[in-house]
Structure 1
Amino acid sequence: MIAKIIYGETCQGTLNYVLGKEGMRILGYGNTFSQKVSPKFFGDVLHFQGQRNATKNRYAHISLNLPHGEHLNDKTFLKISKEYMEKMGFGEQPYVVVRHTDTTHEHVHIVTTIVKEDGKVLPIYNSHKRSMATRRYLEKKYGLSQAPTTKRNRQLPIYRLPEEQFGMDAEKGTKFYLQDVLNSINQKYKVRSFDELARLVKPYHIELRQTKNEMGRIGVAFGLNNQKGYRTRFLSGSAVHRNLSGPKLQKVFDAHSKSKLLPMHRKRLLKQIETTYGLFKTIRPHDLKDVLKGYQGIDIELETKGDVIEGYTIYDKSKYVFGKRGLGKHIRMQNRLEIFGNGNEPTQIDIESKQFKLEVQKAIKEALTTSYLKSLKQDGLLSEHIITRNFGDIVPNLKASEKFRFLERYIPRNQRIEFRKAVENAFPIIKKRIYELETKKEKEILEKKFKLIGKVLEKGIFNVGTEQGSIRLLFQALGVKYHDNQLSFTQSNKHTIPVKLGNLPFPENMEKHVSTGFVRQNHLMLEMLTEQSSENSPKMTGSAIFLPMIFPKLYERMDPVYKWQYERIALGSYVKYAEQMHAPFEKSAKDYITLFNAKGFYFVKGEKGFEVKSIYTNNKASYPLPKRTSLYLNSIPDLSVRLQRQRTVIKGLFEEGRNDLKNLWVGHLMERGVYDKVAFILTSEKAYPNLHREIVQHHMDNGLRQSLVQVSQRQSSVQQKRLLSKGVYAVSSLLGGRGKNQDEAFNGFKDELTDWSKYKRKGVGMG
């Protein structure tokens, strides 16, 4: 099911369209005196209530659309519509639900107002995101087909015969269609002129006319012409939508045209095209589209008339659209006959070109790196791995590479053996060059780590020293080790830096396994705490909050002032991550709080807005939410009651022994889809992930249930039943089926991967 919401300043035109469609059926009303009110009476009620506030987005037009071939009876469709309105916060408002039968897919229209009886307005923060979550909830509840999660190219509506289309649809249906297409175009592209807009809407059978009155005011009008005998009269842009008037569109066009980024995008695009030309000996004109897409990821449409290519349009990733006039004459086909003027010769790469040699180098480097990352045991550094590889070792990775397959596709058949030999002959030279570059980079990284350690010790971020050997904990958490008065990488002795610390003892029970992903996170965190990070530095991820679980002995020694700074940064990183994970389930501002509460996070309202805290950090540590998010939470009608309820949830987590980062970690793995690890923990340990039951149920349906069965099947028949029952017990407890007798709180984490990684004979880092 697809749900769409459009807000507007008036409702009369929308009601005329919704209630005036041929074959429409009113399924029901919401919050009116009776279900037998007349459409005119309802329109008056809606109009007068909406006029009680001067906001521009007074009215809402919602459509709920089923996929082709799916059917609902009127009673069920009305029930779904009412539940949608309740979940979206419109349940107390007057609204009408109308079913249309003019398209091949079943759908209803709902018209309402966001203005309440007292003149205040309903909050519409994040309404489109909440609509997505509500739609998903209803799909699951009523067994409807799920809407696609990725954008697809929409098919144009099928036009009916002209004699059926003229009349009411020309005034109302056309207007709604024009709004939909034009708004989509303006969101998708940074249009710079009316001529460009006319070209972009032409495939949708929309025609555009520019006008200018005596005062010189620019105007625009739109009409439909499907070239099959059906045409509508032209509607002025302002009549279609207030933001589609001539002056307002011109203002947008001017802003896009004057952007300082436009010349940069044009220059980059020209360089990409020139690079492509430099790679090829010949390009068959009609192959240019596939060549640019496959090599540079550039979307280009060739404008053809018969077999003749008259021009092109490039839809750049920057949202700008470039035609042949916008990029200069030098790249036009007629001016590059040495590439395009070779008759019917096939498209061929020039294996003697400088660009080809660069691409071969890139393909070999990618294959060497991939072979290192995919190796079961990454012993040593990348440079050490590279120097020991033979050409045959990387052939499987080369064949799997899209870059290599693209090159091979355009090599002439009679030169493919020669091509492969050229790659093999180039391998030793390229391997040596990459080895030297990686060696230099590794030395710089080790030097950087050494300087960071000095800053950390200088500022006293951790209470570590040489006498107890606790400084080794800091070394390990940054991916280095100390031996024979030298500092080197943990997994290699290739590079060293002299550090005279003498005979340095080891601390008791030092961690054996350290994930490279968490080493990177720890490095970034310490750079921030020592103020060595910059705007261009990599950003922290949500997993930064787990650093005290990965390096417990080190973070136990953290200075309280820096501990507060760390927790504040980690909270902010995790909140941003969690908001993305919660989006498919967040139907309202109440859900925003509920989903975080289930994870052990709670919200406090202060003078400057909301702050988030957690059961995993000190009570003084908090992260201030952005102003817009604070406004969103303030929209909850019974906010004080909702904030009070947090105590019950948080208290329950403490009572159940789930106030540990380990519980959050299991939920984190579940959200990341690492179901094998989660299944092992659920079946072999007493683990209760801190996650809302709706999200747990989603992951059970999405593959976790199957992973539980597979993990249990690896054991003996006696163990199977025991392990599977443990897993089912753990999950059922999350879904609300736990009894009074609870198992001991889970404490089986010996490292951040759990013992499951040892059964798999390899470790997997999460960073």
Structure 2
Amino acid sequence: MIAKISSTENLGGALGYNFKKVEKGEASILLAAELYQDKDGRYTMEEVFADMEALIPKKCRTKKTVFHCSLNPHPDEKLSDETLMQIAKEYMEALGYGKQPYIVFKHSDIAREHIHIVSLRVDSNRRKINDKFEGKRSKLITDALERKYGLIPSSKVSEQAAETPKVDIGKENIKEQVASVVHTVLKHYRFCSLGELNAILSAYNLAVEEVKTEFRGKKYNGLVYVPTDDKGGKISTPINASDIGRGVGYTAVQNRMKKSKQNVKLLIPTVRKKVLQTMRTSPNTEKELRQRLEEQGLRVVIRKNESGRIYAITFIDDKEGIALNGSRLGKGYTANVFNAYFSNPARNPFLDETLYGSPFVRLEQSVTVQPLQSNAEEGDNIIDELIEDMVGDSFTSTGNDDWKEAAWQRKLRKQSKVNLRRKKR
């Protein structure tokens, strides 16, 4: 469970944001503590605002007197209203706000239901509620609540990703939704191939496809973004990268991948170690593998062809913002290895110490010990990457490409050359 805490002096803004969701039917009020309730048992924006404002001392040194927090369970978690209410109560009590007035809203405007809490940072005696190490204390509290209620660990989910909903083609603003997802992903995650990028985007019901076209005799590469269903099937018209905005086209993504190859090197041994430790528990099914990897803070995306053969496997650390294909971890972690394992779980190659090393190898040693690794650049098994991209290319060319962006860049380069020539003269 991710807790996102903010401070503000705008009480009306914090309450207004949540009450507008209630008016639209996208949120509901779960709980209110120490606040006025009308004769019909309802809470209105005007009454809650007046009630809270009256409790803020007139002469107060604390400027940002409003506490606003969102608690975000794991996207796969479906919790009852009673459970969410109890979690909110215990969270506020443990953080030091148990005796403060607060109101709890349940938001259901996106697939992942979550709650927002609005309270006050000062008490009736003008004393500020202790906020020292608030972030660290909050993390300890949410971890304890996860254990108490048997929740799926969500520490792997970034705060920004937690607030980004899936693309919903049932809504009119599809292009804006796609732009929001793509900008969030490109800002937070590191990836070295389009396959790894697609593994990340799949959580948001989105995929990216490279297209090639010819314009006035010149060949161009471009990208289109395609809304998908939960199974990855294309369900809407592809959107040209140049129609979304700057920084999401072919050149930008290629530059991101180039930088990522250098940045992920130090993280590969840690991810490899977690995968190896998980596989040595001999999970019998893909579902078990997912559950055990989540305990390690990793998410796995497995892709199969029509015959059910695993052709790609990607491990994602949402907290670190990194996606790594199995082949990038080493030859012993490719899709073929996992396909063979799940075809016959009784034969577990990951238990072979001669191939994968001792199960008691320490983490700092694993940085230099790279089992089943070639002398090529770490984890960069080019053949496996090419096979994965070829087999996984389920989208057909749409003709809707990013040639406009490339043509514009080409025009700028020509203008730059002309200016240089004039200066030389």
TM-score norm. by structure 2 comes to: 0.41
Looking at both structures, which has the greater relative contact order when contacts are Cα pairs under 8 Å and sequence separation is at least 6?
2
| Between structures 1 and 2, the one with greater strand share | 2
The structure whose Rg is larger is 1
Structure with the higher fraction of residues in helix conformation? 1
